[in-house]
Amino acid sequence: MTWKLGIIGGSGLYEIDGLKGEWVGIETNFGSPSDDLFIADLNGQEVVFLPRHGRGHKYTPSSINYRANIEALKRVGVTDIVSLSAVGSLKHRYAPEHFVIVDQFIDRTIARPKSFFDTGLVAHVSMAHPVCDRLVEMAYDAAIKTGVTVHKGGTYLAMEGPQFSTRAESELYRNWGCDVIGMTNMPEAKLAREAEIPYVTVAMVTDYDCWNEDHDNVDVTSVIKVLHHNSAAAKQLIKNLCEAVSGTQRTPSPHDFALDNAIITAPSARDPLMEQKLEVILRRVGANTK
């Protein structure tokens, strides 16, 4: 199997020297994704970009159609997802302009559909290890080569937003041992697991949230300023990833088989309409998996 990387991130990540492609509109069984997909070739490696908030940043973290985004990437054959996200730091050691390759999440979102599965077809996938170890190593190596300061491993607290944290919340999450805070990687990571697509988050630190009295409280202006600085490193990271997998054969990941033993609804009790709605998600296991 060949690699086909899916890149979820901000607008402009697809503006990379040598990248050639086109925007393709995709409709899913869960509605429209945030934007068309930019399906492209970068020096011989196929890659698919999806602006998480839509070009021009149209969608709030809560209004993003996460299910459509992940299903759209699944529809076009993406094998692995790399999510690039702006985050706030909850620890001194993670400074603005640093990158963190996340390996754990705490999900505090409350207003978003979090599963493809529903009444009539129920599944429980494991999220004990929410990211792919292989992609963590690849993303870390790719980040190192950009020259950015990068940390391997860290816990991402996903908050609902769109407001930033209160100081009490920020201190609570620090006491929980969280490392960074963001608004977009849940339920994205959960849905990628249900879709059997290995996933990794590259968290790009823009600020210290509001706990650090030695720094100004986070605001949009400061976030955008640091994001612009991180943009070149993020694009180079993508190029490095593509170079690493170009021309190589992809071996299976354990996450490619996440639905094995996860579907609990008996075949005789399954809703045919749900089976039809989940045809893309169930592509490998088939609708009649026991």
**Number of structural domains found in the chain:** 1
The boundaries of the domain holding residue 153 are 82-277
pLDDT at residue 290, rounded to an integer: 46
DSSP secondary structure, 83-131, as one string: EEEEEEESSTTS-TT-EEEE-EEEE---SS---S-BTTB-B----SS-S
In the predicted structure, residue 288 carries a pLDDT above the cut 60? no
**214 or 125: which leads in pLDDT:** 125
Q: Which pLDDT tens digit goes with each residue over 238-252?
A: 999 999 999 899 999
> Is residue 248 assigned to a domain?
yes
- CATH code, domain carrying 180: 3.40.50.1580
DSSP secondary structure, the chain, as one string: -B--EEEEE-TTTT--TTEEEEEE---BTTB--SS-EEEEEETTEEEEEEETTTTTT-S-TTTS-HHHHHHHHHHTT--EEEEEEEEEESSTTS-TT-EEEE-EEEE---SS---S-BTTB-B----SS-S-HHHHHHHHHHHHTTT--EEE--EEEE---SSPPPHHHHHHHHHTT--EEESSSTTHHHHHHHTT--EEEEEEEEE-TTT-TTSPPP-HHHHHHHHHHHHHHHHHHHHHHHHHHTT-BPPP-GGGGTTTTTB-S-GGG--HHHHHHTTTTTTTT-TT--
Q: Which pLDDT tens digit goes with each residue over 90-141?
A: 999 999 999 999 999 999 999 999 999 999 999 999 999 999 999 999 999 9
Q: Which pLDDT tens digit goes with each residue over 10-54?
A: 877 888 888 999 999 999 999 999 999 999 999 899 999 999 999
- Please say if 209 is a catalytic residue: yes
> Is residue 196 assigned to a domain?
yes
pLDDT at residue 123, rounded to an integer: 98
> Is residue 53 assigned to a domain?
no
Query: Considering 35, 36, 80, 209, which one is annotated as catalytic?
Result: 209
pLDDT at residue 225, rounded to an integer: 67
Query: Considering 103, 179, 207, 256, which one is annotated as catalytic?
Result: 207
> Is residue 266 assigned to a domain?
yes
pLDDT at residue 227, rounded to an integer: 67
Q: Which pLDDT tens digit goes with each residue over 188-207?
A: 999 999 999 999 999 999 99
In this prediction, what percent of the chain has a pLDDT beyond 70? 94
In the predicted structure, residue 78 carries a pLDDT above the cut 60? yes
pLDDT at residue 81, rounded to an integer: 98
> Is residue 167 assigned to a domain?
yes
pLDDT at residue 216, rounded to an integer: 65
- Please say if 207 is a catalytic residue: yes
Average pLDDT of 67-91? 97
**15 or 89: which leads in pLDDT:** 89
> Is residue 140 assigned to a domain?
yes
> Is residue 17 assigned to a domain?
no
In the predicted structure, residue 170 carries a pLDDT above the cut 70? yes
> Is residue 20 assigned to a domain?
no
Mean residue pLDDT of the chain comes to: 93
